[in-house]
Structure 1
Amino acid sequence: MPGTDDKLLGEIAAHAYRDDPRFARALRAGRPCPPREYRRTGAWLSLTFALLVLGTGITMAHGLLIVTGMVLAGMAAELCDPRRCPRGQRARPPRS
Structure 2
Amino acid sequence: MHLVLPGWTERAVAATGLAQNAASILYVHASPDAVPASGPPPRPGPRILDAVALGETALVAAKRDPDGRPSLDLSAAADPGGGVPAARRNG
Same fold, TM-score > 0.5, yes or no: no
Say which structure is richer in strand: 2
TM (normalized to structure 1)?
0.22
Higher relative contact order structure (alpha carbons within 8 Å, sequence separation ≥ 6): 2
Larger Rg: 1
Q: Which has the higher helix share?
A: 1
TM-score in terms of structure 2 length: 0.23
